[in-house]
Amino acid sequence: MLRRTFFQQSSILAAGALASPSLFAQKDKMPLVGLQLYSVRNEMTQSPVGTLKLLAEMGYRFVEHANYVGHKFYGYTPAEFKKVLADLGLQMPTGHTVLAARHWDADKKMLTDEWKRTIEDAAFMGQEIVITPSMERSVRDSYDSFMQFLEVFNRSADLCKQAGMLFGYHNHDFEFKEKLNEVPLYDLMLQNTNPDAVKQQMDTGNMFAGGASAVDYLNKYPGRFYSFHVKDVVKPAMANGPYNSCIIGQGDAPTQEALKLGMQQGTIRHFIIEQEQYETCLPMDCMKQNLTVIKQWGYG
């Protein structure tokens, strides 16, 4: 009953927002520059509040979570974590939580209460979009299973819309390397999900590592991208190894070019910095350098 009331109230707010100059109308708005907290995952495990305090002191104002377990963010209830962020002058407009096969009740043809609770907590935190950051192997092992799961994406987007949010997907590299019926998974996803409600968070580094062009995808599917993971990648000393992320602007990915095109298209809301490997400096020092670079590029 409480969940039904929540979505009824949220749908009223969402309808009002979408009927006016809305959160989702991004033309001529400067994207929010934030940090994906997976970039400082060890630090967040050791001291969430201390790490967030240091990031705020660096100049970050927006963060994206990568830890939502047992309906808690980094061990804090939504109310507790919202206060932590507010006390530090931080906001969390987006977050990563995997939409898994277990979140779909095939018998009832509906999303589970667990996933509905995830959406509720995201809305409580003031998120604009709920992003699933990957996809299980089981839902992409055949064309039929993949297409069925894309419909689950559409259903999740419907629930997010009722709560005044969008639903999105964050790419890695396999979406471009793997194909079904000779079509890359990423194209199948974009072609078979609701373009108005299922948005994409383009990870520029992961896309480059997957052999795809961010510029080509922005031109091919204009309006589908709501957020960027601003990531640069470089081949390690062992040339046959996988790409590693690095300080933005120091790698091989055409990150700045993609950001410029995204700005021109006017649909990008977030520039979320992410770096997962650290060959030249400690994680927190890298985050300071990344923020400096993106400001030099004219953002933030």
Q: What is the DSSP string of 94-139?
A: EEE----GGGEETTTTEE-HHHHHHHHHHHHTT-SEEEE----GGG
CA distance 188 to 179: 9
What pLDDT, on the 0 to 100 scale, is given for residue 87? Answer: 98
25 in a domain, yes or no? no
Among the ranges given (13-17, 178-182, 266-270), the one the predictor scored with the smallest mean pLDDT: 13-17
Q: Can you give the CATH number for the domain in which 213 is found?
A: 3.20.20.150
pLDDT at 237: 67
Residue 118 pLDDT greater than 50, yes or no: yes
Classify residue 21: in a domain, yes or no.
no
Average pLDDT over residues 182-205: 97
* pTM summary value: 0.91
In a domain, 289, yes or no: yes
Give per-residue pLDDT as tens, 74-107. Answer: 999 999 999 999 999 999 999 999 999 999 999 9
Instruction: For residue 180, tell me if it sits in a domain.
Output: yes
Please indicate, yes or no, if residue 24 is contained in any of the structural domains. no
Segments forming the whole domain that contains residue 203: 2-15+30-296
Contact 31, 258 (CB under 8 A): no
pLDDT at 21: 33
Residue with the bigger pLDDT between 242 and 165: it is 165
Using the predicted structure, report yes or no on whether residue 2 has a pLDDT greater than 50.
no
CB-count exposure of residue 124 (10 Å: 0-12, 13-18, 19+): middle
Structural domain includes residue 20: no
Decide if 22 is inside a domain.
no
In a domain, 23, yes or no: no
Cα separation values, 295 from 39, 67, 283, 288, Å:
18, 27, 19, 11
3-class state of residue 238 by DSSP: coil
Domains identified in the chain, total number? 1
